[in-house]
Amino acid sequence: MLVSWTSHPKVKKMAQFDEKTTTDEVLEAIDLTGKVAIVTGASGGLGAETARALASKGAAVTIAARDLTRAQAMADQIKKSTGNPNVDVGELELDKPDSVRSFAKNYLENHDELNILINNAGVMACPLNRTTQGWEMQFATNHLGHFLLSCLLSPALVQGSPARVVNLSSGGHNFAPVDFDDIHFNHRDYDKFQSYGQSKTANILFSIELDNRLKGRGVRVNAVHPGVIMTDLGRHMSEEDIQAIMGNRPEGSPEMVFKEIPAGAATSVWIATSPDLDGVGGQYAQDCSLVEPDTIDSGTGGWAKWAQGTDDATRLWSMSEEMLDETFDV
């Protein structure tokens, strides 16, 4: 389950699309033949629908997932439903840097270019858990793993330019900014929603910084909020958790509206493929539209001010490199 607010007043409606638009409607007039895409977390849910939609329009798609058995079953299903044989799988455990490096190495050994990278995988509101490095799991999976993956794949993205990277954030980034003094909850009580919120804020800040670094070489990067969708992402949430979120929306925010999966994946597909977005980067989108930045410090359900700053984006990049003990020439 992806939980947050939808249809925010600051969403700038574009063209004919809205919160009800599906992936197939977004791609109706688009041909992706010859394009190469990677979708993380695509063995089910939003990622699987995203991969299916891209494959249905001719793209060669790699499903990057933790469970290879589920991923292969989904790849076979997509091949059958779309008639596109160019759907393969790769093992990717985002909380394990060695797995991320292995996936990227294998991809680069077998592909020269990458046109679309959709960083879709994630975890939400899980109990406190740490990686072997001591990193808090939500930050490690939702941000650090995709940070490392995107940096390692950047040569293929540049070679495949014009290329696009899509980072799945969430309206849940309004739960919390990045706490640069204690990202991994070593000195404060763990709160699973604060943790989720800062990881989703990190997704947006990373999009801003990566876009700044790659836009001169034809790669644009954006973040998206897919909407409120019932998926396996929310498996750690109780009914009380869901009711608490629904009852504590920011003042003035619209009612929560649940989407079906094809509508939930539509914004990712739209921002990854729409010709209307050529040259657009460093933005935050939902409901197949760009969101105007909020101008106040606290989250309102839109694009929180704490997820906009280029200084924080650069700081997050540097801290991510320090955690991974690697500097990226991106």
> What amino acid positions are annotated as catalytic residues?
196
Q: Which residues pair with 87 in a beta bridge?
A: 61
CB 40 within 8 A of CB 46: no
Angle at 188 (CA atoms; ends 208, 327), nearest 5 degrees: 35
* Residue 219 CB contacts under 8 Å (≥ 6 apart), including other chains: 154, 157, 158, 161, 162, 163, 164, 165, 211
Reading the block at residue 18, the tokens are 């809205």
Sheet holding 219-225, edge to edge: 11-12, 289-291, 284-286, 219-225, 163-168, 116-119, 36-40, 60-65, 87-91
Please name every residue paired with 91 in a beta bridge, in sequence order, or none if there are none: 65
Count CB neighbours of 255 within 10 A.
Answer: 9
Which ranges constitute the DSSP H helices of 160-218?
192-214
How many whole angstroms separate alpha carbon 173 and alpha carbon 138?
A: 13
